[in-house]
Structures are given as structure tokens and as C-alpha cells.
Amino acid sequence: MFKNKKLSLAVKQSLLITSVMGVTTSLTANAQTTEENTEAPIEKIQVTGSHIKRVDLESVSPVTVITAESIKLSGDTTVADVLRNSSINTFGSFRGQSGYGSGASASSEVNLRGLGAGATLVLMDGRRLPGLGYDGGSSSDMSMIPMSIVERIEILRDGASAIYGSDAVAGVINIITKKEFDGVEFGYNFEDPGVDGGNSSQYNFAAGLTSDRGSIVFIAEHANTQEVTDVAVNGDFADGSYSTYSPVANFLGDSADTFAYNTDLCGEVTDTSIESDRCGYYYGNSTWLYGASEKNSIMTKIAYELTDSITFNSRFSAQQTSTDTRYAATPVSTSSVTIDSDNAMNPYGEDGNIYFRTASLGTRDTTTEKTTFELVTGLEGYSSFAGNDWDWQINYQRTNAKEEVFNYNLVNDTVVQDLIDTEQLDLFNVQGLSTEDWSSYNAELLDLARHTGTYQSTQKRDIIDASISGEVFANDFMRVSAVVGAEYSHLDFEQISDPESGLGFISGGSGGDDVYATRKRQSYFTEVAIELPHDVEISGALRYDGYELEGDTGAEISTADFSDTVPKLGISWRPSESLLLRASWGEAFRTPTMSEMFASISYSFPSAYDTYYCDTQGNADSDTSYCSTTQQHLTYYGGNPNLKPENSESLTLGLVYDVTDDFSVELSYYQYDYENKIEDIDVDDLIAADLDGTSSNIVRDSNGQILSITSGYTNYAQVKTSGLDLTADYRVPTSIGEFGVNLELSHVISYEEEGIEWSGELFYPDNRGNVTLDWNDGDKWTASWRTLFIGSHGDTYYDYYQYADNYFKHNVTVSYQVNENLLMSAGINNVTDELIEYDPGVWRGYDDALYDPLGRTLNLRLQASF
């Protein structure tokens, strides 16, 4: 249902947009010859993908436009959902889940072409949004953008660093906010998923006034969403949701080959059970999949004509979110916990290690609070000089973004060890207490080890930019338009964890990775568009960016200087009024983030299968609890001040064909070559390379199990990808209303990373698409049936997972205009309650970056306008 706008322009003193026709293709409006106007210059507009204002809206780059009207009928209720369901979100995008640290559990990203969220630049009204703290400001949190402010979303499906600078590698998403609105509007949206929990309510208010001299718009939104537990999706005691870190402690003697534990307690303590030679704990019974959130936002936009040729523009926005997530009780795993043979609380008579979880302290609950304030203000206008009209603008943007995370019920390992050494903590019930008394006894002592971890990131950014554009030359043969501009940016970035977590003796969190850094940027850019006979246009862009970075790595103050000049070239030709052919080529780059360069040592617990211990040593059958893909490993990370920028080269070829007035088709080919890609070395890769258990990056115990892994960032990855985008829209007017069919399809021809072809493999579907059937009676009724398709993907490289079959998700929406003031809509998302599981029956054995685990969802929307 996502449609581009086909605009026909009639220009005299002002721009008149006379028709809007939904087509999921690039803008294909025919250029119109304008007559000279002696009273005022021709008014022009700027579209995503170019800084040049022009009357002709044709572009050499493919742009998908998703209108607010299309969004209402799609069934999607958030900006994150809209982008997640787009077919060019090739392999899905990260959606925050409980268990992720540093605020990631409360964030949603977008990942065009599978090149990484950091390679997709997100703008609001053409201006950069603040990045997320946990990844150094690289990617934007799409869940922070309120739906009520959106007028349309433009997606540039092409590399565009020559236009917008760093990060525009895979493409650009431009959120266009509402700017002209008269009256007052109230809205209410409600969703009820098929699983228990997840209900959401959204309230919005808009008011606006437009006059001859300008306009003002005010929009406010409040939304809240309930949590969704893992039990609601997977059920109790789901496979893969247990751990050997149990409330009933497991003991491994220094000379023992098997574990020991109190068999009377195991099974009696909540969520524990005997698993192989250990007492296991089903943490999945207490975890939340998605957190409970509350979001508030406001936005004000003002446009006022100071003179006939100068306009003042301003936008102020503020967003605040609070998200509560829940993960299993803390496993005491950051430090090794030991007990001596002569300890009175050691019933096993030898020195050894203890593996246990502090369930008596409660679950690990996390509150993430995010606040963003942004002010954009500036002047734009036109002037006549040297016989030509020139558009100019100058703007200032100030952004303050803050993220605070509070991790409750973590554990201080040193306090735990002291409680053991002083013979106070009775982990094996040497005293012979009842299960309830034993739990209460240890809980009172462990309360002394309780720790609240904190994480905070702040970003303060100032941007000043200016540009001037216009027609620099024209004769009977050609017309040349150009823009020149400059931009200056200064960013202060801080990321701080509580000192105890940073020192590495707090279990349950992901502390450390402190960052204190600044970044300055100077940019100079130019674009040229040359219109030639036979409806041929040649365009070119060139941009220089120079960066100065400084950061405290903990060991020293490091500095770095980066600069790059990237070009872009394009050509379009319209051999007939209904056919447009186009091609573009360009280079792009991405600078390292503050965290990637300057982060101090941090730790996390990624899951991975230990091939050396399980397969090479042959322990897979005898130690099934450890030999699992969900087994977590303590992993240390840190920044790398020697990183270099990433580089990319892209090519797009395409055509747009208006077969009839009611039938349009677009076909595009894309190709990216992404080099020097910065990656934290994947834990799976480190383990796979440890063929004999001697890797310097992996520390193992005497039995061969992993104790810790050391990873980090480096410029080593290369990704090459290519594919096809097909979009089509067909409108059928009839006596009972207008019917429409809209198609959006993306096919990945190749996705090669480090020489390995992943297209079509598990987690890398090579086909995605959406088909929408819609109808309106031209008066009160509108209805749509939207089918989202994700093609099957196989298991060549992951033969322990199952093949993911074709996925079809059906959304139905019906709207009724009760009267001129009230609109009612109702719908069902995922009508057939589909979910593809790559590991059926296993805890979180589905990819929610691609699929929706919430089941059949009812939604209701009311909108009152006055």
C-alpha cells in the first residue's frame, strides 16, 4: 500500500501540487516548461536525494515515498513497523528485546540492503537525527519517532554520501513531518495482540493555523505499551531456555569430571530441574520478550514570511520514552566463584568452582529512559543576481540526546566471594533447612551483594549549514543548475557506566565501554544538473568531509583526522512521455563511531556453540546443557583508535514506465561494494577458528570449556550485494468505487560477505515483497488487504537449524468516514497467525527482525477533526 506521489506542477507565482497518485516508484512527474514571471521567481521544491531545488521532480536516483494515507491502511502503527515491513529492509532490522544492555533493549533500528543499521542515514525534514548511545551514535532509534508527526516517508534506495555525507552508504530515510494544518485533530489508536500482553494505546493531538504569511503546527502524542513475556510466545519450560547457572548451585571440584549439587533442592526450587549432570534453571519462565514502554512527544513547526523573498522556519521537538524490561535473575559469572575444601559450607571435601544464580534477589529488571530535544531554525529565500534567480538558506540545528539505564538486582562478585569465604553463604544447604527456609536464609545474605548498575550516554550536537542554488546557465541547447554549500558540525559524546561495573566484578550487566570524545566536521559540497535536448539530464555531485576526533581510551588521549571527497554521477533520459530510463553511480563512506574508536574495555555474554569442546573433544552428547547454541560466553570488547573509515561504491540502473494513466511500473537494479567495513570480531568466527583450543582470544578451563573471549573492532569485512526492485501500481475506476493493486518486490541476486555467498541462506532471505489490494467508494468507505511476503531461506551453514519456509502475513483494514468530523478504522494484522521458527519449540527460536511473534492482532483507530 506504500505509494509514491506522481506530481503535476503548474507554476506561476507559487507551486501548485495538483494531483497525488499512489505508485510505489520514484517520483515521475513530467517536467513542465514555465513562462518567465517578472513579478516573482519560480518557486521550486527540494526532494530527497538532491540539494538542488527544481520544478522538475524527476530524479536519477530511485526514491520510494510512503504516504500517511498509505500507512493508515497498512496496519502498521509505528514508524519502526512501517520501515521494518518494507521490502528493502532486506534481512530485517533489530528490534530491542529484554537481555540487551546499554539501552539496546529499548531501541529499534532499520537496516537497508542488509548493510548494517549504521550504513543507513535517517533524516527528519532533511536533517540528521541523533544516533543511539550504545553504538556510538551510528544508527537512529526508529521507535522514538512519533507516528502522528509523519506526513510521508521518503526512502532513497541509493548510496548518497556525495549528497548527505557519512553513513549514507545503503540509502537514506527521510521522515517528512506535517507542516500545514488548519484546525484541531484528536486521534486514538489501540492494538490487542494475539499473545498475552503487548496491548498498546496511542493518543495524539494536533492543532494548526495557516495564513497568507505563514503557518504554525503543534502536535503531541502519548503512547504506552504493555510487556510481552517469553512464556506468552514460547510457553513454560521452553527448550533452550535453561542454564547451568541455577539457584541450586552446581559444584565442580578441581579433580572432578562431573558436577555435584543438592538433588533434594533441584526440582523443588522454582523453575529448576535436573539437566544431564547438573541442576538447570529455566530462565525463560521469568523473562520478558518485549518491555513495557511509555512515550511522550511534542513538535512545533513555524514558517513565517518576513518579506516577500525571505521566510523564517523553525522546528522544535522533544521526545521522552521510558521502557521497563526484564531478564532472568543474575548468574554470578563475570568472576570465578570458588570454595575451599575445608570450608564448613562445602559438603564435597575438595577445592572447586561454584556456578549459581541469585534468583532469591529477583529478576534483573531494567529501566531505560531516553530524552531528546531538538531545535532547528533558519532562513530561506531567493535573490536575483547576474540576471538569475538564486535560492538560498542558512540553518542552525541543536540536538541534546540523553539515555539513562538502570539495571536492578545485579550482583557484586567480590561480596559473594567474601560471603562464601567467611562460611556464611550456604549454597548447598549444609544446614539441612527446608527449601523455603534455605532460600530465605541465602536471600538475606545475598542482599548485601545486590548492585544497581547504571549506564548513561549524552550527545550534544550543533550544526550550522548554508547553501545557495540556482540556474547558472541556459541557452537553446542546455540548462545548467547548481548548488554549493557548506556545513559545520560539533559533537560532544559521553558514555558512562557505574565504576563497579566498569571494573569488571559486577555480574548480570554489560558494564564498561566508557567513552569521552568529541568530533568536529567541516563539509563542502556542490551539485550540478544539466538538462539537454531530448529530455536528457546529467547530474553530478561532489562532497568533501573533514573530521577531527579526540577521545579518552582510558589509557591515553587519542586523536584522529579523517577526510574524504566522494563523487556521484547520474543520467536520466525520457525517450517518450511515459518512459524514464536512469542510471547513477557513486562512492560513499562511513566514519568510525565514538564507541568503535574510544570505548574502554567492556564485557557482554553473547550466545555461541563451542565447536572445539563439543565437537572436536566429543562432548556434545554427554554435555548437552553446555553444548547448545544458547550457551552464553563472557566476552570482552574495546575500542580501536587506529580504525579507518569504511568505503563503498554503488550503482543503480532502472526504468519507470507509465503504461497507462492508471498503470505504472518501476524496475531497478542495484549493486554495492562495501569495503573496510568495521566489525567487532564475531564470537562464532573466533570459536570456529580455534581448531585446537589454543586461540589467544579464548581462555578455557582445564576441561576445555570457554571461560572468556576477547574481541574488538577492526576494518576487515567486505560485503558485495546486488539485486532487483520491482514496484507496480494499477488503479481501476468502476461504478462502485476505485480498486487498486500495488506491488513491492525485492530480490537479492547476491549477498557475499568475506567471499561467502549468503543470499538465500538462513537469516538471509533472497525474496521479500508486499502486495496490497485496496478499494474506496469515493465517499465514506475504504478497505485494504495487504500481504507481506518473505521468501524461504535455507540451512547450508547452520545444519542444526531447520529450513525457514515461505512466510505470508495478511493485514486487513477497513475505514469509515462517519461524518465530516469523525473517521473510524479497524483492522486485523496477521490474520492467519503465522510465525516462522528456524528452531521450532526452542526459546526465541524465531527471528523477530524478520517475523512478528505477537500473533493475530486487532487494531482500532478513531480520528476526530474540527
Q: How far apart are CA 637 and CA 601, in angstroms?
A: 6
Segment 381-392 shows an average pLDDT of 86
Segment 326-351 shows an average pLDDT of 93
Q: Which residue has the cell 549454597?
A: 427
Domain count, the chain: 1
| pLDDT greater than 60 at residue 40 | no
Reported as type and span, the H/E element at residue 81 is: helix 79-84
Domain presence at residue 261: no
Confidence tier at 596 by pLDDT (50, 70, 90): confident
Q: Could you count the other beta carbons within 10 Å of the beta carbon of residue 640? A: 19
Q: Which residue has the higher pLDDT, 422 or 605?
A: 422
Domain presence at residue 627: no
**Measuring CA to CA, how many Å separate 654 from each of 551, 651, 759, 763?**
44, 10, 22, 28
Q: How far apart are CA 93 and CA 116, in angstroms?
A: 9
Residue 26: phi and psi, rounded to 5, are -70, 170
| pLDDT greater than 90 at residue 77 | no
Q: How far apart are CA 14 and CA 42, in angstroms?
A: 7
The DSSP code sequence of 467-492 is EEEEEEEE-SS-EEEEEEEEEEEEEE
Q: Are the CB atoms for 58 and 537 separated by under 8 Å?
A: yes
Q: How far apart are CA 507 and CA 632, in angstroms?
A: 13
Segment 71-93 shows an average pLDDT of 90
Q: How far apart are CA 244 and CA 227, in angstroms?
A: 27
pLDDT at res. 681: 81
Domain presence at residue 470: yes
Domain presence at residue 474: yes
pLDDT at res. 43: 52
Torsion of CA 113, 118, 120, 122, to 10 degrees: 150
Collapsing DSSP states into helix, strand and coil, what is residue 565? strand
**Three-state SS letters, 740-752:** EEEEEEEEEEEEE
pLDDT at res. 649: 96
Q: Are the CB atoms for 368 and 403 separated by under 8 Å?
A: yes
**Selection from 130, 75, 109, 292 nearest residue 198 by Cα:** 292
Q: Could you count the other beta carbons within 10 Å of the beta carbon of residue 772? A: 25
Cell of 728: 507496480
* Beta strand spans in 288-387 (E): 288-290, 292-305, 310-327, 337-339, 352-355, 364-385
Q: How far apart are CA 372 and CA 118, in angstroms?
A: 19
Q: Are the CB atoms for 295 and 222 separated by under 8 Å?
A: yes
Chain CA centroid to CA 378, Å: 30
- Burial (CB count <10 Å: 0-12, 13-18, 19+), residue 230: buried
**Which of 342-346, 582-586, 691-695, 712-716 shows the lowest per-residue confidence on average (mean pLDDT)?**
712-716
Q: How far apart are CA 133 and CA 725, in angstroms?
A: 33
Q: How far apart are CA 390 and CA 385, in angstroms?
A: 7
Collapsing DSSP states into helix, strand and coil, what is residue 709? strand
pLDDT at res. 16: 27
| pLDDT greater than 80 at residue 52 | no
Chain CA centroid to CA 47, Å: 24
% pLDDT > 90, the chain: 68
Reported as type and span, the H/E element at residue 437 is: helix 435-446
Domain presence at residue 174: yes
Segment 576-594 shows an average pLDDT of 93
pLDDT, tens digit (0-9, with 9 covering 90-100), for 519-574: 999 999 999 999 999 999 999 999 999 999 999 877 778 899 999 999 999 999 99
Confidence tier at 14 by pLDDT (50, 70, 90): very low
**Which of 38-52, 238-252, 704-718, 726-740 shows the lowest per-residue confidence on average (mean pLDDT)?**
38-52
CATH assignment at residue 93: 2.40.170.20
| pLDDT greater than 80 at residue 344 | yes
Domain presence at residue 349: no
Cell of 23: 505508485
Q: How far apart are CA 9 and CA 51, in angstroms?
A: 19
* Range(s) of the domain holding residue 652: 4-242+285-340+354-601+638-680+712-865
Reported as type and span, the H/E element at residue 419 is: helix 413-421
pLDDT, tens digit (0-9, with 9 covering 90-100), for 159-180: 999 999 988 999 999 999 988 8
Q: How far apart are CA 46 and CA 54, in angstroms?
A: 7
pLDDT at res. 233: 95
Amino acid of residue 43: E
**Which of 165-169, 628-632, 804-808 shows the lowest per-residue confidence on average (mean pLDDT)?**
628-632
Q: Which residue has the higher pLDDT, 369 or 714?
A: 369
- Mean pLDDT of the residues in the chain: 89
| pLDDT greater than 50 at residue 621 | yes
Q: Are the CB atoms for 420 and 337 separated by under 8 Å?
A: yes
Domain presence at residue 134: yes
Amino acid of residue 570: G
**Measuring CA to CA, how many Å separate 820 from each of 738, 779, 814, 824, 865?**
21, 11, 17, 12, 8
pLDDT, tens digit (0-9, with 9 covering 90-100), for 462-481: 999 999 999 999 898 999 99
Indicate the pairing of strand 706-710 with strand 635-637.
parallel
pTM of the model: 0.86
CB-side neighbour CA atoms (13 Å) of 561: 2
pLDDT at res. 22: 32
pLDDT, tens digit (0-9, with 9 covering 90-100), for 748-787: 999 999 889 999 999 999 999 999 999 999 999 999 999 9
Domain presence at residue 100: yes
